[in-house]
Structure 1
Amino acid sequence: MSEALRDNDPAPFPRSADFLGHPKPLWLLFATEFWERFAYYGMRALLAIYVAQTFFGLLPDGEAKAQASLTYGAYTALIYATGIFGGFIADRYLGYRPSILLGGTIMALGLFLLLVPDLTWFLVGLAVIVVGNGLFKPNISTMVGMLYAKHDARRDSGFTIFYMGINAGATLAPLVCGTIVGKHFGYQWGFFTAGLGMILGLVLFQALVGWMAGVGRAPAPQHNPMRVLKVTAGCIAVVPVVFLMLSQARIVGWLLMGLMLVLTVYFIASGARSGDKVQLHRYIAMLLLFLAKILFWGMFEQAGSSLNFFAKDHVDAPFDFTLFQSANPLFIILLAPVFAWLWPRLEARKLNPSIPRKFAIALILVAIGFTTLVLTIGEAMKGDGRIAWQMLMLAYMINTMGELCLSPIGLSMVTKLAAPKETGLAMGAWFLCTAIGNYVAGAVASVASGGGVASGLAQYAETYTHIAWAGFGFGIAFLLFAPLINKLMHGVR
């Protein structure tokens, strides 16, 4: 039995016996996140295709895909942006566990609303999911960080295992919600199946919540019933605002950038007010790494939009194209144990890349992944215009290796660099970076897939070439500036 201090509480908390080398509560959070990600990736696998066919089907093919890609980008951006507010609410008011239960319930309701075949109600359903996700997503990740002392060598591996839970759910979801349910009964019933998965995750979390001991408890349990009602009322009030933003997808990017600017000023001012020069430097380093996250996700996150359309129209495969949505999470399941094993071994030999260098490697790997696609498309354009499914899978695998160098490491990084009282807010900012990257990715996808079936290959090749050059350029830049960022981190690795 190991003991540690919560990162945001100076008092020790009871710890269950470790299981497979990690705190037992990690495995409950793993399972809960599995079902939440099943819900999210189940509907995401269908979203762009369903929107293009159902609501923009009367438009020319390229325009329908472009509009669907913008809707997809705005939705996936907002799904992460609201994490900032959810993290703040959990930090200061509601507690992490109540926030997760309330957020998950709201998300399930939104998924069921997607069954209504009307664009207005569909956007309302998306808005409800966005609001609920804001309470759920950052807080379950923050609770993982609470299971380890700040310098516990198992922390990065623990986050990588948690990341496997995310991707186990994401691997199963396209098969169940898309290939089995969506293809044979209609995509709207795929959304319904995703909602059932969300409910199952909530039931599991509540049934085994005793495993968590004091982790994530409500700060004032006696006041929490009224606080839950107040937060629920606030969520209802926010839904029309999110609906408006989804209806005007092009303004989302400006709003997200403005929010990121406010947070940047906040963290720098907080570090300065604290009088702790080390904390100020760490916040500057954190913000620089946030930039890398935005750049990476803006290039990487084509899977649910342009790569989905690309697979549907141009790839020869012996299976339904929706199964390509399982490629990225499947490779994470296969490769995450390798990376979780690798980092401590490299650390023991003093060869473990620092966090900034891992982020640089991630950018370069995603550039290599898209370069693979560009070369493959070039060969296809000389022939029948069809791509072998193995080449798309290869690109997904390379991109996934980049993701494993950044995303689980970044989750751990935030819990180490942020001040204890601002960990939830910092985690929300981390997901805001994902939001901005998703919005950029949606805009890029609208260009990549906007040429229609006839001229699509050339359009994909040109867009993916730009992505590759951006990845190589920014990756090399972060490699060069890694020593400076390391210095600002003051020993955090």
Structure 2
Amino acid sequence: YYMGINIGAFGGPIICGYLGEGIDWHLGFGAAGVGMLLGVVQYVWGWRHLGDAGRLRGREAAGRAQALRALWAGTAVLAGLALLLLALQAAGLLALSIVGIARAAGVIITVLVILYFAYVFLLGGLDQEERRRVAVIPVLFVAAAVFWSGFEQAGSSMNLFAERLTDRNVLGWETPASWLQSVNPLFIVLLAPLFGSLWLALGARNPSIPVKFALGLAQLGVGFLVLAWGSTYAAAGGGVSPMWLVVTYFFHTTGELCLSPVGLSSITKLSPKRLVGQMMGIWFMASALGSLLAGLVAGLIESLPLPQLFGTVGLIAVGAGLLLGVLSGPVRRLAAGVN
């Protein structure tokens, strides 16, 4: 699964990047829209093969109808709030900015996650073993948010590095900067089977979940430290070799393979069965929070020297990995045998 979704991630930047940078950005974004439409068509066409997968179970028809009404009501409320904010901005009563929205969204996500875990621990009816296992999830949430806040620099500060400071000439033709976005998914397609085989081969010596997360954070940090080193040459003038980014993406990919698929699996195992769906939503909120932080950090690219920016991100990631590594023993014991 994880390898498969990255096949599309490999082709996307090549097609959209070529059209966008080489011809017109309307074509680039249009191609992305066509790809998304084809994905929806394939999903609808294959719907009949899913059977009862994903359907609400253990409820009568009235209960399912009530759940669907709640879903639509929540969607309507969110849409209404969005329209209200847009109307207030159009009337000049509310000043919205990208940075302001990102900061507000980050605060909202953080508060919602804290309130959710407080509700689960206090009113979720957890037994002792469930309580211990669920206590691991906030630790993984924070680690994942830190990881994605660095990893998602790929589409912002790292892509600007590729565009402005990297020598991309191949036989007299300058390749699109966005093509370097395909390096990470290519590495995933190549390395995912190796990592899967490695975890199986290790057997009883397989690292615990927090250790794998710590390794993922540390490798992310090493990748940024490599890029900080390369950016010192770029700061001195002239474009640097794209190999600096390739090596950085290699470490980011190995870190991702230690953290992301492991996180998806661990959330399903650590969560009580009745809460798996909600906990998966919380897991992806870590990605959302990390992406917001990544955008805010990337905004510093105009005010901070690149070696300082990338070096700081790298040191924070390595430090977070070391801290989680130190705490891996207590966290593993809380997991109560889940690996």
Structure 2 partner of 1:171: 10
Structure 2 partner of 1:187: 25
Structure 2 letter corresponding to 1:340? G
What root-mean-square deviation, in Å, do the aligned CA atoms of Structure 1 and Structure 2 show? 2.4
Structure 1 partner of 2:319: 473
What secondary structure, in the 3-state scheme, does the structure 2 residue paired with 1:491 have? coil
Distance (Å, rounded) in 2 between the aligned partners of 1:218 and 1:416: 20
Equivalent of 2:302, from 440, 447, 450? 450
In the alignment, structure 1 residue 334 sits paired with structure 2 residue 179: no
In the alignment, structure 1 residue 412 sits paired with structure 2 residue 270: no
In the alignment, structure 1 residue 200 sits paired with structure 2 residue 200: no
Distance (Å, rounded) in 2 between the aligned partners of 1:468 and 1:176: 31
Equivalent of 1:265, from 97, 114, 118? 118
- The alignment-based identity, stated in percent, is 35
In the alignment, structure 1 residue 435 sits paired with structure 2 residue 274: no
Structure 2 partner of 1:288: 139
Structure 2 partner of 1:346: 202
Distance (Å, rounded) in 1 between the aligned partners of 2:240 and 2:106: 33
**Cα distance 1:262–1:217, how it changes in 2: closer, same or farther (>3 A)?**
same
Distance (Å, rounded) in 2 between the aligned partners of 1:333 and 1:185: 29
Deviation of 1:209 (Å)? 2.1
Distance (Å, rounded) in 1 between the aligned partners of 2:76 and 2:229: 52
Structure 1 partner of 2:172: none
What secondary structure, in the 3-state scheme, does the structure 2 residue paired with 1:338 have? helix
Distance (Å, rounded) in 1 between the aligned partners of 2:113 and 2:292: 13
**Cα distance 1:232–1:199, how it changes in 2: closer, same or farther (>3 A)?**
farther
Deviation of 1:183 (Å)? 2.8
Map residues 177-326 of structure 1 onto 2, 5 A cutoff: 177-179=16-18, 181-218=19-56, 220=61, 223=65, 227=69, 233-234=76-77, 236-240=79-83, 247=98, 248-249=100-101, 250-270=103-123, 273-274=125-126, 276-318=127-169, 319-326=175-182
Q: Which blocks of at least 5 consecutive residues in structure 1 are unaligned?
A: 1-161, 452-457
Distance (Å, rounded) in 1 between the aligned partners of 2:312 and 2:84: 34
Distance (Å, rounded) in 2 between the aligned partners of 1:388 and 1:242: 45
Structure 2 letter corresponding to 1:375? W
Distance (Å, rounded) in 1 between the aligned partners of 2:315 and 2:74: 45
Structure 2 letter corresponding to 1:491? G
Distance (Å, rounded) in 1 between the aligned partners of 2:336 and 2:2: 26
**Cα distance 1:242–1:435, how it changes in 2: closer, same or farther (>3 A)?**
farther
Q: How many residues align?
A: 319
Deviation of 1:386 (Å)? 1.8
Deviation of 1:305 (Å)? 0.7
Equivalent of 2:307, from 461, 467, 473? 461
Deviation of 1:385 (Å)? 3.4
**Cα distance 1:238–1:342, how it changes in 2: closer, same or farther (>3 A)?**
farther
Give per-residue Cα distances to partners, 1:341-368, cap 9 Å, x unaligned.
1111112xx2211110000001110111
Deviates more, 1:354-363 or 1:367-376: 367-376
Distance (Å, rounded) in 2 between the aligned partners of 1:385 and 1:304: 22
**Cα distance 1:260–1:203, how it changes in 2: closer, same or farther (>3 A)?**
same
Distance (Å, rounded) in 2 between the aligned partners of 1:184 and 1:370: 29
Structure 2 partner of 1:398: 251
Structure 1 partner of 2:219: 365
Distance (Å, rounded) in 1 between the aligned partners of 2:56 and 2:325: 42
Distance (Å, rounded) in 2 between the aligned partners of 1:196 and 1:322: 19
Deviation of 1:463 (Å)? 0.8
Structure 1 stretches of 4+ with a deviation exceeding 3 A read 218-224, 226-236, 241-248, 379-382
Structure 2 partner of 1:79: none
Distance (Å, rounded) in 2 between the aligned partners of 1:168 and 1:441: 24
**Cα distance 1:476–1:234, how it changes in 2: closer, same or farther (>3 A)?**
same
**Cα distance 1:218–1:281, how it changes in 2: closer, same or farther (>3 A)?**
closer
Give per-residue Cα distances to partners, 1:422-480, cap 9 Å, x unaligned.
11110111111111111111111111x214xxxxxx71110111112112211111111
What secondary structure, in the 3-state scheme, does the structure 2 residue paired with 1:301 have? helix
TM-score by length of 2: 0.86
Structure 1 letter corresponding to 2:181? Q
Deviation of 1:238 (Å)? 4.9
Distance (Å, rounded) in 2 between the aligned partners of 1:427 and 1:259: 14
